[in-house]
């Protein structure tokens, strides 16, 4: 029988709530509690789920085997590094960090200690269940739109690290080529950083990807078009529907699969399976998350202010 893992969450916000509920419901996991600088918030989340609030990192890490880091992005690297130094495997919400060197330090320390590091780019799950990773052809072009309405969430990072990084990761997952240029334009509306951005990234094999993101839109929109030599694939991430003229077989009923219905749950289960040695890797590894972060930072550097 697989070992029961003691799970804990750093961060009592929206994403911390999602992760705590997953640990509380999954078989083979004992939900231990939540670490947050606001004890009342930690208790308000943890106690109804059978856990407890923690105020000190050392005490928290002594009580758990696996950790989700769901705090604000600027704290991801510091908190994940503390966890892996304590020998704990870590699931880090995206972005893995806001600095590549610090993210790499987490990955290196985890490798030294035999810990697993996973990152929360959950829409990889959708690509898996659709069968998109089984297409034996490289894409020629990708166009992604990800618009969200104004929110107070994640204003401590740019819209590139908040929203675009999802699609950057998906583009990287579809192509083995390396990005070589990133150019675009954006606007700063209310956060002090980029709130809208449009970027064109070119790869060394000629693959071109265009990303259009906003957190100031009037309505949500999350779509992607991938062009192959044989045809096009258009995906609507909100309705979980697609149109496919590529000639390659994809699962038209993917949205009804348990993994597509709960991508976070599938992603966490993949992480736990890797921790137990039941899977060779989590759905998104630290190296893949660092690659997405590196491209996101290159996109930020290539943006020019408009308006």
Task: Give me the mean pLDDT over the 147-163 stretch.
Answer: 88
Predicted confidence (pLDDT) at residue 259 exceeds the cutoff of 70: yes
Predicted confidence band of residue 123 (pLDDT cuts 50, 70, 90):
very high
pLDDT (tens digit per residue) in 64-103: 999 999 999 999 999 999 999 999 999 999 999 999 999 9
| pLDDT score of 221 | 97
Residue ranges, comma separated, of all CATH 3.40.50.720 domains in the chain are 5-121+264-284
The domain made up of 124-255+293-305 has a fold known as Dihydrodipicolinate Reductase; domain 2 (3.30.360)
Residues of the chain with CATH 3.30.360.10: 124-255+293-305
Report pTM: 0.95
Closest listed residue to residue 111, CA positions, set 286, 277, 283 = 286
The CATH number given to 5-121+264-284 is 3.40.50.720
């Amino acid at each position: 029988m697989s070992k029961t893992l003691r799970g804990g969450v750093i961060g009592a916000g929206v994403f911390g709530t999602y992760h705590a509920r997953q640990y509380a419901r999954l078989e083979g996991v004992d939900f231990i509690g939540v670490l947050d600088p606001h004890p009342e918030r930690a208790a308000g989340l943890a106690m109804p789920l059978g856990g407890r609030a923690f105020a000190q990192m050392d005490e928290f890490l002594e009580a758990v085997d696996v950790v989700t880091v769901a705090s604000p992005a600027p704290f991801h690297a510091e908190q994940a590094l503390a966890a892996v130094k304590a020998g704990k495997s870590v699931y880090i919400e995206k972005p893995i960090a806001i600095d590549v060197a610090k993210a790499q330090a987490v990955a290196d320390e985890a490798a030294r200690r035999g810990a697993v590091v996973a990152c929360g780019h959950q829409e990889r799950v959708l690509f898996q269940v659709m069968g998109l990773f089984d297409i034996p052809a490289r894409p020629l072009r990708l166009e992604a739109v990800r618009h969200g309405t104004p929110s107070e969430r994640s204003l401590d990072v740019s819209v590139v690290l908040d929203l675009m990084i999802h699609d950057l990761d998906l583009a990287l997952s579809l192509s083995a080529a390396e990005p070589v240029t990133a150019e675009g334009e954006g606007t700063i509306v209310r956060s002090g950083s980029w709130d809208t951005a449009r970027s064109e990234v070119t790869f060394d094999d000629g693959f071109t990807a265009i990303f259009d993101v906003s957190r100031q839109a009037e309505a949500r929109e999350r779509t992607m078009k991938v062009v192959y030599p044989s045809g096009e694939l258009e995906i609507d991430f909100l309705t979980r529907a697609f149109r496919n003229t590529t000639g390659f077989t994809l699962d038209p009923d993917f949205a009804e699969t348990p993994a597509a219905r709960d991508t976070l749950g599938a992603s966490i289960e993949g992480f736990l399976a890797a921790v137990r040695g039941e899977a060779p890797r989590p759905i998104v590894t630290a190296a893949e998350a660092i690659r997405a972060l590196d491209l996101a930072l290159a996109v930020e550097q290539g943006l020019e202010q408009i308006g």
